[in-house]
Structure 1
Amino acid sequence: MAAPLRSHLVIRPPAPSRWLPPVVTLVVVLAAWSAVSASGVVQPAYLAPSPLEVWDAFLRANTNHAVGGGVDRVVRGEEGYYLWEHLVVSLQRIGGGLALAVIVAVPLGLAMGTVGWFERVVGPYVDFLRSLPPLAYLGFLVAWFGIGDTSKVALLFLAAFPPIALATLNGVRGIREDQLNAVRSLGASRRQTITTVVLPATLPDILSGLRVAVGFAWTTVVAAELVNGLPGIGGLAYLSGTQNKLALSVACIIVIGLTAIVLDLIIRTLEKKLVPWRGKA
């Protein structure tokens, strides 16, 4: 009986199949990207920056560097900020929009799921807002709130609000009636029913809605930073594109994508901690 026990205690190295496919894919993508850039198929050449040029733009955006123009002068990063500072400002705006969305959308979704007439009144407007592209109301927000951060946070809030509200509503709808009847039979009040049954049972769907909302917020951040968006990585990506600094624009896009992946991993980890029963029979 000791031999099987020892076999379970053996620490095995991770299987290559876990990390080999992503590494191979990355190598193939970089090789194809470099080949297209070096082939000269795309003209002018700055329209197809190579991976090395993008890396150089990334390093340049995070360091102090000299620029010409008669007398050399030292410039700090891009547009006076390092790239990571642009990223932090955008993250602060996204965090503000997401926080407001959670504060408003979760109670609203719970109310729609537990009060029938309220869903019939409010539900169509949530669906209407979900179908609108952010650029459709960006001009109104700038007119109402000005070109500062308030309009940007408001736009990100409107982008993140519908998926969280609808996910909360779907979570409430998925609660079994016998669970509600059981807690009611024990004399629980409406508030106790919501806090002890409805909210915990809906939490997995709320976190799923939050994951979707984070994705929407990242796709909206460039639109949010079109007007007076500096510092901000979305604004820097847009401005560098208009100035034909495509290597820098691609670097910004890659940073945005990688940051979004990291945030998604954080939410997934949080989901495993808060709702470990999800996905288990």
Structure 2
Amino acid sequence: MSVFVDIVPEEPKADPARAGVSAARWRGLLTKAGLPLLSVLVFFAVWQLVATLGIWNQTFVPYPNTVWRAFIDVSTTHDGARGYAGYLLYEHLYMTLRRVLAGVVIGVVAGVLLGLLMGSVSWIRSVLEPWLTFLRALPPLAYFFLLVIWLGIDEAPKITLLALAALPPAAVATTAAVVAAPVGLQEAARALGATRTQVIRDVVVPSALPETFTGIRLAVGMAYSSVVAAELFNGIPGIGGLVKDASNYNNTPVVLVGIFAIGFSGLVIDGLLRALERRAVPWRGKI
């Protein structure tokens, strides 16, 4: 006589630790994506409310849908008119980004090299630091008209202004990072026979990278904050020129379109810089 016994496999038990990690990850994603979205919705709700209440004239605070129509008009050909001043919005933005890119590259490269030099050689730092502080304290409009006198009203003064705006943050951050490089690691490298150049390349530069990236992000922000000033003269096509020209006619919706275009493109570029920083300096915040 044979007896058959059915063996029912036990269901795997849920791992509480794994479930907790998954829940925490979802909460983190929700916080990271949900809160910014919520803040945007609140901003537009308050904007719509203020415009509806009529606290200020529509010239000063237009309705959001008015700004949206201005965005469509600037981005398309309508009633025989192509965009704004003959250029579509993406063409204005392209010219501005091209100027910002050229100015930022020149300013950041010069600033980082200057910061490495100032951080490594104390007497050079003593000589150049006052001039760097002087330049950093100047608002862009203070010397833009001088650049126009020297360089004309073409592209040269615009790019020069953006480069001068981007240089001080990159130089100051790099100088501070180089000065703060771990002395123990430098002495250990010298004890192992490293030359001064090798110490700077293999010890100082890697330790300075995190703060240097912070300076680069600040430099990009300074260049963006100066772009309207840089495009005061002969700035069309360009977002700054668009904003200035529209403001001359109290065309607030187009001014807001230009401001939003600068702001959103700045967010995208800052996000790209953050991603580059995470790849170039993966140890930041972990040691």
**Alignment TM-score, normalising by the size of structure 1:** 0.92
2:66 matches 1:53 = yes
Partner letter of residue 179 of structure 1?
L
User: Residue deviations 1:13-65, cap 9 Å, x none?
Assistant: 8334443333332222212211221222213x222111101111111111001
Q: Secondary structure at the match of 2:229?
A: helix
Question: CA separation of 1:8/1:40 partners in 2, compared to 1, >3 Å: closer, same or farther?
Answer: closer
1:230 aligned residue: 236
| Structure 2 residue corresponding to 1:202, chosen from 203, 208, 218 | 208
2:284 matches 1:272 = no
| Structure 1 residue corresponding to 2:49, chosen from 10, 32, 35 | 35
User: Percent identity among equivalent residues?
Assistant: 41
| Structure 1 residue corresponding to 2:132, chosen from 121, 126, 129 | 126
In 2, distance between residues paired with 1:180 and 1:5? Answer: 47
2:26 aligned residue: 14
Q: Secondary structure at the match of 2:15?
A: helix
| Structure 1 residue corresponding to 2:198, chosen from 192, 204, 207 | 192
Deviation (angstroms), 1:7: 4.0
In 1, distance between residues paired with 2:115 and 2:21? Answer: 48
| Structure 2 residue corresponding to 1:148, chosen from 154, 158, 181 | 154
The total of aligned residue pairs comes to 273
In 1, distance between residues paired with 2:188 and 2:13? Answer: 47
| Structure 1 residue corresponding to 2:220, chosen from 214, 220, 224 | 214
User: Residue deviations 1:46-93, cap 9 Å, x none?
Assistant: 221111011111111110011xxxxxxx11111111111111111110
In 2, distance between residues paired with 1:264 and 1:2? Answer: 44
Q: Secondary structure at the match of 2:59?
A: helix
Instruction: In structure 2, list runs of 5 or more residues that go unmatched.
Output: 1-11
Larger radius of gyration: 2
Partner letter of residue 233 of structure 1?
I
| Residues 84-103 of structure 1 aligned to structure 2 (within 5 Å) | 84-103=90-109
2:3 aligned residue: none
Mean Cα displacement is larger for which, 152-161 or 190-199? 190-199
Q: Secondary structure at the match of 2:78?
A: strand
2:4 aligned residue: none
Partner letter of residue 51 of structure 1?
P
Off by >6 Å, runs of 4+ in structure 1: 8-13
In 1, distance between residues paired with 2:42 and 2:14? Answer: 44
| Residues 235-246 of structure 1 aligned to structure 2 (within 5 Å) | 235-246=241-252
Partner letter of residue 26 of structure 2?
P
Instruction: In structure 1, list runs of 5 or more residues that go unmatched.
Output: 67-73
